[in-house]
Amino acid sequence: SDQLKKKLPLADIKILVTAGPTFEAIDPVRFIGNHSSGKMGFAIADELAHRGADVTLIAGPTSQTLKNPAIKLVNVTTAAEMLEACTHYYPQHTACIMSAAVADYTPVTVAPQKIKKQDAVLNIELTKTTDILKTLGESKRDDQLLIGFALETEKEEEYAVEKLRKKNLDLIILNSMNDEGAGFKGDTNKITIIDKHLQKTIFTLKTKTEVARDICEKVIQLLNP
């Protein structure tokens, strides 16, 4: 089966994938999270492994499971933990696909005890998290690929291209929220892939498994120019 594996398009290529939301603690019983299911990232990890890749998956809290037992799963909870895991693992990998829905803000302090209800209004002070993708983009080597996602509700392509440039990406996958059924909660996505030469590929509404296959094919193309 070692002989068989060698014939696969991503045989022995090391790829890092992130998936799911991050949870940012407010107090011992509460957190700020988001609706990311982790489905997209888990599907990408499985499809890459199916094509022979050596996959490390860094996942925030999700109920997803992997089909392929060869994938190395690293569980994290917060944006800070995901940053630490990503900066640790990226140098040993040829590509990173950042599909996680990382919190943009985290509470300045975590209350040591459960916050008791008091006034009519409660303010929780938040501070910006580190942009993981941007951090990886700053240390990216010539022999590495970096792929990000963009979730937009307006000026989709303009904002996606801005992120591609600002974060030094090779590809950005624009997740359209415009279509019924698309989005990070459900089972389908409508994506547009934009590369660093601003070449665009528009896809129809598909299941997340099908979308994961399209993304894999793009990665294979990039690795075999």
Least distance CB 19 / ligand CTP (angstroms):
10
Q: Which of 27, 104, 210, 214 binds Ca ion (CB under 5 A)?
A: 104
CA dihedral sign of residues 161, 176, 174, 81: positive
Least distance CB 104 / Ca ion (angstroms):
4
190 is in an annotated binding site: no
Query: How many C-alpha atoms does 62 have within 13 Å on its Cβ side?
Result: 28
200 is in an annotated binding site: no
Look up tokens 């997340």; give the residue: 208
76-135 positions binding ligand CTP, by CB under 6 A: 79, 98, 100, 102, 104, 129, 131-133
Least distance CB 204 / ligand CTP (angstroms):
21
- d(Cα 143, Cα 91) in Å, to the nearest integer? 10
| Torsion angles phi and psi, residue 208, rounded to 5 | -65, -30
Which of ligand CTP, Ca ion, none is residue 98 near (CB under 5 to 8 Å by kind)?
Answer: ligand CTP
114 is in an annotated binding site: yes
Q: Which residues have C-beta within 8 Å of that of residue 29, sequence separation ≥ 6?
A: 114
42 is in an annotated binding site: no
- d(Cα 24, Cα 79) in Å, to the nearest integer? 7
Q: Binding site for CTP: which residues?
A: 104, 114, 149, 163, 167
Q: Binding site: which residues?
A: 104, 114, 149, 163, 167
Active site residues: 34
